[in-house]
Structure 1
Amino acid sequence: MNILQINSSARATGSESTRMADAIVAKLAAAHPEATVVRRDLATDPHPVLDQDALSALFTPADARTPEQAARVALDDALIAQVQAADVIVLGAPMYNFGMTVQLKGWFDAIARAGVTFRYTASGPEGLLKNKKVYVALSRGGMHRGAVTDTQVPHLKTLLGFLGMTDVTFIYSEGHGMGEEAVAKAREAANAEIALAVA
């Protein structure tokens, strides 16, 4: 089993979503001692944003790219290779302003590539990152689960599904902006969800 952990909090330390992702990976690794784990923390090891230079590099034929363009595309290629090699993906995904972090959006921008991780067919788009289990560790300051304010989960489901990843489990830790008692309850609930959901 190959496990890929992506931490997308802007916090290098003290992140609840990272704590949850670590706990999920630890449980998976304990159940599968032969597993290999690859971790990418987008706070301490950020990926460059999709900008004009990156787009120009991506849309330039490989044999016509400058050395700088080739190097830029290679950064995205490395993230794609990690996802392709993974059997299980664990995303630490805090909610910022009702959505995913810019770090996580940048990761999706890097791995979503036509003809590589998805393709368009006569019957519609087809995701090419199939047969992968995904766990998403969600942390929030307020209480949004199942509410209209939770635009994050539908967006993540759409992105993951578009790329072929449909076996997705969301694990929640909410209320972190509502006082110490709420934080303790949130962590207890998240730990219980992890114990039940992760195998």
Structure 2
Amino acid sequence: MKKILHIITSPRTDASVSRKLGNAVVEKIKEKYTGSSVTVRDLAKNPPPHLNESHINSFFTPAENRTAEQLYDIRYSEDAIQELMNADILVVETPMYNFTITSTLKAYFDHITRAGITFKYTGNGLLPEGLLKGKQGYIVTSSGGVYSEGDLKAYDFTEPYVRSFLSVIGIEVAGVFRAEGQAVIGPEAALEKGVGSIVVGG
């Protein structure tokens, strides 16, 4: 039995291919781990606030010194991080928008990237060390073109970014699933191909 955290970002609902592929990935995980629970955080329906000065100040103020306003400002971050810490498996889905992730997913990442909580500085000038170890992540993307190979591969800033981010906070990427080439083969065929590629690791 696993605790699955499903992050949804597409502004589209019923017509969203990334949502459909993400749901298929979650179902495959549930099939493998019978009795698993799923928590859904839909960033399109409940978008995270973009960071402002008050958020930043709250992050760097010791917990015992935070004002009531700072406690309010930090609430989204605290809840999102606790949700992530409770999860065994993270499914992150995002359509490709202008070669990269949705702005809501970037805002979410900004709230869960906290020094001393989800990562720590090593002091050697290299990448920080992730603190969310022992968790698996699955990346789900959708796009009009084919970006996993060929001429457009260099323009894919979606999968590499999400993969790099998850690794920095300590989450192992166990799989990447794409519904790509929708403008070439059509959304239904791209989704079918993406669903067919789903393999859930051990």
| Cα distance per residue 1:24-82 (max 9 Å; x no partner) | 11121123222111001111111111112211222223233221210121210111111
Partner of 1:149: 155
CA distance in 2, matches of 1:169, 1:32: 16
Q: Any idea what SS the aligned residue of 1:54 has?
A: helix
TM-score by length of 1: 0.91
Q: Is the 8 A contact 1:10 1:101 kept in 2?
A: no
CA contact (8 A) 2:139 2:173 kept: no
Paired residues for 1:17-36 under 5 Å: 17-36=18-37
Contact 1:12 1:43 in 2 (8 A): no
Q: Deviations over 1:133-185 (max 9, x none)?
A: 1111110011211311112222122111111113331101112234xx42232
The one of 168, 190, 193 aligned to 2:174: 168
Partner of 1:189: 193
For the residue of structure 2 that corresponds to 1:99, the secondary structure is: coil
Question: Which residue number corresponds to residue 69 of structure 1?
Answer: 70
Does the CA-based 8 Å contact 1:10-1:103 persist in structure 2? no
What residue ranges of structure 1 are gaps of 5+ in the alignment? none
Identity of aligned residues (%): 35
User: Where do residues 105-144 of structure 1 align in structure 2 (5 Å cutoff)?
Assistant: 105-123=106-124, 124=126, 125-144=128-147
Do the aligned partners of 1:12 and 1:44 also contact (CA within 8 Å) in 2? Answer: no
Partner of 1:158: 164
Following the alignment from structure 1 to structure 2, what is the Cα–Cα distance between the partners of residues 31 and 168?
Answer: 14
Aligned length: 195
The alpha-carbon distance between structure 1 residues 66 and 12, as it changes in their structure 2 partners (threshold 3 A), is farther
- Provide, for residues 90-124 of structure 1, a one-character-per-residue CA deviation record: whole Å limited to 9, x for no partner: 11111100001001111111111000000012454
TM-score (norm: length of structure 2): 0.90
For the residue of structure 2 that corresponds to 1:37, the secondary structure is strand
Which ranges of 4 or more aligned residues in structure 1 deviate by more than 6 Å? none
DSSP 3-state at the match of 1:188: helix
Partner Cα separation in structure 1 for residue 30 and residue 61 of structure 2: 41
> Partner amino acid for 2:197?
E
CA distance in 2, matches of 1:68, 1:112: 21
What amino acid maps onto 1:99 in structure 2?
Answer: T
Query: Residue type matched to 2:44 in 1?
Result: A
Could you tell me whether the CA contact under 8 Å between 2:137 and 2:171 is conserved in 1? yes
Q: Secondary structure at the match of 1:148?
A: helix
